[in-house]
Chains A and B, each alone.
Chain A
Amino acid sequence: MTWTMKKAPTTADTERSRGLNRMFSDRRLGWLGLAVALLAPFVSASNYSLSVITSAALFVMLAVGLNIVVGYCGLLDLGYAAFFAIGAYVSGVLSTTYGWSLLATVPVVLAAAVLAGIVIGGPTLRLRSDYLAIVTLGFGEIIRITANNLDITGGPSGIYGIPGLEVFGFDLSSPVAFYYAAVVIVALAVAGAARLGRSRMGRAWRFIREDEDAAEAMGIHTYKLKLAAYIAGAVWGGLAGILFGAQLSAISPQSFTFLWSALILLAVVLGGMGSTPGVVLGAIVISVLPELLRDAADYRFFVFGVLLIVVMIFRPQGLWPSQASERTPARVPEADKEEAWQA
């Protein structure tokens, strides 16, 4: 069961595409993306367009977080909105009922996200990986229904009056200031996830994704590392939840349905599982496209569903595949050695 089994032939070896790859994999690409994000309000700074691009930035953070779980480690998480909800609700309750500042809620949100990751991931990651998919689906429902039923979370009407972001006395609650704050946080989150993917742990995750048994045989503690990936995803989702609450100032259980989890997954799959630039692009497309295609709103989710199937059948590596899984190392000298040994 190797990842490369179903892959379409790539053009990675032609001269021109190698040049393109080098350009795209350049570190400068990240800075370019950040520059585009920082300049976006100069194109249009109406409240509407600011809210669209702020939501897109948040969506990028969610997609990058899910990419750690699905893209790097190959675990299917269908309840990702649950972590998002945990972050939004924990910070929302602490900041409205108890009057904390949003920054002060960050450690509590982190602890809650890690705890939830352990509770769900702990028992299920020992089993076949597809159990995780459906348990996370159930977990997403558990969190949503619980938020709907409890009094402290405001029941079906949710929490409102969440204060805006305030960092060391600077008020960042105006739309423009919040957008810039969100871009900085999201950029850090993207860079952090990308670095995590390139780290020793990231390589181990990819190995688990490609072949879990081989990874185990090579001495990788697969259970621990899968749990680590799941918890990392939870942390990213929880932090995005704080921003979500701060942006909208009101949250309700309807904001965290399965639809969200599925859309984030679609962004990851469409962009290219495991590829940071691909996932960022996918998230922007998925979050901005509906705004451009308002007339086709009824067809939107149907098309998204079909798109998931089509991408998986015809281009499982996504629109912008990750470099690591594309590269084919030169094996010739090793093959010679092997033959020499046999002779």
Chain B
Amino acid sequence: MSQLIWNGLFVGSFYALVALGYSMVYGIIKLLNFAHGDIYMLGAFVGFGLLTMSGALATSAGFLGLLVVLLIAMLATGTAGLILERVAYRPLRSAPRLSVLITAVGASFALEYGMRLVAGPNPEVYPVRLEGTTLHVIGARITVEQIALVAIAVVLMVSLQWLVMGTGTGRAMRAIAQDPKASLYMGINVNAVIARTFFIGSALAGAAGVMAGAYYGKIDFLMGFLIGLKAFTAAVIGGIGNIKGAMLGGLVLGMLEAFGTAWLGGEWRDVFAFGFLIVFLTLRPTGLLGERVTERV
């Protein structure tokens, strides 16, 4: 039982990191960024490339080396998010919603198969594998590395919370989420703030990608597809557009999956998660923490 809860929390913290980017972008420009899961994949591959290039250096530096790689990968995926926004989404800011959604699907496709061109179709094995000493805490087996990864995720989420609630950029983001046009009149550089949002969200997804690569040990060019869907589910459960909701939703989804797996077996895990998404949208489409949003005409 406590093992299940821990597994759920651990996987859930990954989901939460990816869900945050989804939720932030949706909250601000009402765009479902389908390519977000692929940014996560990109992060995993950037980390893989860095670790392979630096060879023994990073492996010997151990956890600290991985931390440096994590930061560089975050910068890289953040930049990728900026480029994506500039090239694919900004030209369509005033276009119908359907066009933007289709563009997002195209971006996801281009990222996936672009990576397939670069890295080949076969899965790659991460050079660093986190396997550490096991602790037993109230009946659950927990490795030190798992704790470290969860700690990194928590630090990232806390700093995001501070960024959004405590800085000027964050205030601008919240203003745009409420009313983009009015924010423009108030002298906020809307395009710059949206670009920054993409950078932050993509950097978080990239961090999750490196962490997942280092933990699970295997990455491939389609790994972002499923996690993108899961992250959306998490964002909906928590209330899309709501930052605390995305974190909560990630953890709830992780737990649900852990219990669903124990109950129905591993092969039904994804069906369980997506089935839950449909049930949730039927019963409480605004999510656990979301407010009722009325569509403005």
- In the complex, which residues of chain A have a beta carbon less than 8 angstroms from the beta carbon of B116? 298, 301-302
Kindly identify, within residues 267 to 287 of chain A, every residue whose CB is under 8 Å from any CB belonging to chain B: 269, 273
Kindly identify, within residues 142 to 168 of chain A, every residue whose CB is under 8 Å from any CB belonging to chain B: 142, 145-146, 148-149
Judge if A320 is at the interface, Cβ distance under 8 Å.
Answer: no
The smallest beta-carbon distance between B110 and chain A, in angstroms, is 3
Interface contact A146-B109, CB-CB below 8 Å: no
Kindly identify, within residues 95 to 115 of chain B, every residue whose CB is under 8 Å from any CB belonging to chain A: 95-103, 105-114
Interface contact B270-A141, CB-CB below 8 Å: yes
Kindly identify, within residues 182 to 215 of chain A, every residue whose CB is under 8 Å from any CB belonging to chain B: 209, 213
Interface contact B110-A138, CB-CB below 8 Å: no
What sequence of 0s and 1s flags, for each residue 233-269 of chain A, a beta carbon within 8 Å of any chain B beta carbon?
Answer: 0000000000000000000000000100010010001
Interface contact B95-A6, CB-CB below 8 Å: yes
Interface contact B98-A74, CB-CB below 8 Å: yes
Interface contact B281-A133, CB-CB below 8 Å: no
What sequence of 0s and 1s flags, for each residue 260-271 of chain B, a beta carbon within 8 Å of any chain A beta carbon?
Answer: 000000011011
Judge if A78 is at the interface, Cβ distance under 8 Å.
Answer: yes
Interface contact A138-B277, CB-CB below 8 Å: yes
Interface contact B105-A123, CB-CB below 8 Å: no
Interface contact B107-A305, CB-CB below 8 Å: yes
Interface contact A312-B295, CB-CB below 8 Å: no
The smallest beta-carbon distance between A29 and chain B, in angstroms, is 26
Judge if B91 is at the interface, Cβ distance under 8 Å.
Answer: yes
Interface contact A313-B229, CB-CB below 8 Å: no
Contact of A307 among B106, B111, B281 (CB under 8 A): B106
- In the complex, which residues of chain B have a beta carbon less than 8 angstroms from the beta carbon of A70? 98
When chains A and B are docked, how far (Å) is the Cα of A138 from the Cα of B235? 14
Contact of A312 among B95, B110, B278 (CB under 8 A): B95
When chains A and B are docked, how far (Å) is the Cα of A70 from the Cα of B282? 22
Interface contact B94-A306, CB-CB below 8 Å: no
Contact of B105 among A78, A298, A313, A316 (CB under 8 A): A78
Comparing A33-41, A51-59, A92-100, A124-132, the segment that makes contact with chain B is A124-132
Judge if B10 is at the interface, Cβ distance under 8 Å.
Answer: no
Judge if A84 is at the interface, Cβ distance under 8 Å.
Answer: no
When chains A and B are docked, how far (Å) is the Cα of A265 from the Cα of B99? 12
- In the complex, which residues of chain B have a beta carbon less than 8 angstroms from the beta carbon of A209? 98
Contact of A137 among B87, B97, B103, B229 (CB under 8 A): B229
Judge if A76 is at the interface, Cβ distance under 8 Å.
Answer: yes
Interface contact A141-B274, CB-CB below 8 Å: yes
- In the complex, which residues of chain A have a beta carbon less than 8 angstroms from the beta carbon of B15? none
- In the complex, which residues of chain B have a beta carbon less than 8 angstroms from the beta carbon of A124? 278, 281
- In the complex, which residues of chain A have a beta carbon less than 8 angstroms from the beta carbon of B107? 305, 309
Judge if A299 is at the interface, Cβ distance under 8 Å.
Answer: yes
When chains A and B are docked, how far (Å) is the Cα of A70 from the Cα of B110? 21
Interface contact B96-A138, CB-CB below 8 Å: no
Interface contact B274-A139, CB-CB below 8 Å: yes
The smallest beta-carbon distance between B53 and chain A, in angstroms, is 24
- In the complex, which residues of chain A have a beta carbon less than 8 angstroms from the beta carbon of B285? 126-127, 131
Interface contact A313-B271, CB-CB below 8 Å: no
- In the complex, which residues of chain B have a beta carbon less than 8 angstroms from the beta carbon of A3? 96
Judge if A135 is at the interface, Cβ distance under 8 Å.
Answer: yes
The smallest beta-carbon distance between A67 and chain B, in angstroms, is 13
- In the complex, which residues of chain B have a beta carbon less than 8 angstroms from the beta carbon of A76? 98, 101-102
Interface contact A149-B268, CB-CB below 8 Å: yes
- In the complex, which residues of chain B have a beta carbon less than 8 angstroms from the beta carbon of A139? 274, 278
Interface contact A145-B270, CB-CB below 8 Å: yes
Kindly identify, within residues 1 to 18 of chain A, every residue whose CB is under 8 Å from any CB belonging to chain B: 1-3, 5-6
The smallest beta-carbon distance between B54 and chain A, in angstroms, is 28
Interface contact B32-A134, CB-CB below 8 Å: yes
Interface contact B281-A316, CB-CB below 8 Å: no
Interface contact B268-A313, CB-CB below 8 Å: no
A-B contact pairs, 12 of them (CB 8 A): A6-B99, A124-B278, A134-B232, A138-B277, A149-B267, A258-B225, A301-B116, A302-B113, A305-B109, A305-B112, A312-B100, A312-B102
Q: What 4 pairs between A and B have smallest CB-CB spacing?
A: A308-B106, A305-B109, A305-B110, A138-B274
Q: Can you add 4 more A-B contacts, CB < 8 Å, to A76-B98, A265-B102?
A: A5-B94, A309-B107, A316-B96, A316-B99
